[in-house]
Structure 1
């Protein structure tokens, strides 16, 4: 297996997968250090861009662009550029010809992969993130994800009184619409926010008091870990959405479909989300976090969406 050395790490290619191992050390990007390594199937590539050093001897640049809903890192970290982007490699003139050769090989392999049975893009995304469970500790506390539930625990020294009083909050994956990562702007701390399907009816509060948020101390190391957590949850959200059964079309028959036989209709993705949310509300009611009146009101509201 050949390898290409660059400023951000080492890329190896076996014809089907690009194995990326990121550099460590005090000069390395904290996000790439937290990611550690990534194994990218060429089937995920939509475009390969190579920029040579040029007359001024600047670094060559090799960037891989992925199909829609395959790159969870860029989806949550729109500010990722240059040295902090997981699919960008730069280097000096000594390795320019090798880098250009790699770019051609990646492009050819991606073109060949397009002619084979495609893997759903959303399923590819989960191959790029770290293995589960994933646990991230920051100034306010910890974030935990096991593929089914996101758990925020406020046990750190930076947690405010409201969060310490509540201690923790759990978000089953079906109740999550998205996970946002907001980097520090120099004045405000970076934070991760879990956006649920019913967040629209929840008043927006400051991240330090928001029970859907986990703050960092704005160190680049903590920010990198938080971005990794947000990207990992996003990848599994995409995979779950792609695996949801499609709505039935008129006249369709077969197992789990309308037509001959007695099988029940397969619920649509929207219906399944509503039913999952009602089950979650029932659990909150059983635990005493919702009254029966609140549960019934929210249940009616959700059913009205169908």
Structure 2
């Protein structure tokens, strides 16, 4: 097609075998989009296109990626807020007819559906790094490193020392959004017994946890996606058994988690009801 359709935070260029998405860098553009910059989405990575009414006089054109085709969306695991979805293009309602034309053109070119057997969209490029609440995470393309902060790391992590993980050792990545309290990035070792892993990320040396102002989505999610893509490229994914139910916790750990929750509450990121419910859950672990 070769045409360009510009929306509020991005422009889509329709090519013969892909859609080139260029995200704006303005102050109103979500930081995740600014970090992503430009992404080429092969048509083979898409299985559908929708056009729906948006908010406040807008329409939304959305390309639907196939499961497993994009490491960013696989790592996000459905946790991205709607306005942070990199596959949405928001346009003024008066451009609905034009958007419908491009949606029909794009649908006609899609031939694949269902889960992809490999990543088809390029991951964010290494090296990458970000600051979590309890340490600094770095990835050079082959090795993930965690360096602990004395102000945030648990005693279990201090005893284990700074950590280094080769991509070849890993079987997956678990990312929990920092926009929900107690977010984290956990590396899942390929051959380790899941039952032997600490159930709580703040006690697991293979995890970094997110606190107020640390591990933002636009930093931690591209990091998780890059690591996941490297793992998939190294070898086929290995099944990972879910973690065991959490044991009774150390009172000092519970107190620290309540303190972190209180910071989120005071910052207005957690409602009174959410604070009360979560605090009760934490106290019940004693």
Same fold (TM over 0.5): yes
Runs of at least 5 residues in structure 1 that lack an aligned partner in the other structure = 115-119, 245-268, 271-306
**SS state at 1:122 partner:** coil
**Map of 2:94 onto structure 1:** 94
TM-fit CA distance, 1:155 = 4.0
Find the partner of 1:213 among 207, 210, 221. 207
Give the conservation status (yes or no) of the 8 Å contact 1:22–1:32.
yes
Give the conservation status (yes or no) of the 8 Å contact 1:4–1:12.
yes
**Map of 1:72 onto structure 2:** 71
The alpha-carbon distance between structure 1 residues 62 and 69, as it changes in their structure 2 partners (threshold 3 A), is same
TM-fit CA distance, 1:226 = 0.9
Count of residues paired in the alignment: 233
Larger Rg: 1
**Map of 2:186 onto structure 1:** 193
The alpha-carbon distance between structure 1 residues 30 and 110, as it changes in their structure 2 partners (threshold 3 A), is same
Runs of at least 5 residues in structure 2 that lack an aligned partner in the other structure = 240-286
**Map of 1:232 onto structure 2:** 226
TM-fit CA distance, 1:47 = 1.1
TM-fit CA distance, 1:194 = 0.7
In structure 1, what is the Cα distance between the partners aligned to 2:215 and 2:99?
29
Alignment of 1:1-306 (within 5 A): 1-52=2-53, 58-77=57-76, 78-111=78-111, 121-125=117-121, 127=122, 129-155=123-149, 157-164=151-158, 166-184=160-178, 188-197=181-190, 198-219=192-213, 222-242=216-236
TM-fit CA distance, 1:220 = 7.9
CA RMSD of aligned residues (A): 2.9
In structure 2, what is the Cα distance between the partners aligned to 1:97 and 1:220?
42
TM-fit CA distance, 1:232 = 1.9
**SS state at 2:120 partner:** helix
In structure 1, what is the Cα distance between the partners aligned to 2:75 and 2:13?
26
Give TM-score scaled by structure 2 length: 0.70
Give the conservation status (yes or no) of the 8 Å contact 1:190–1:223.
no
TM-fit CA distance, 1:206 = 3.1
In structure 1, what is the Cα distance between the partners aligned to 2:200 and 2:24?
36
Give the conservation status (yes or no) of the 8 Å contact 1:3–1:12.
yes
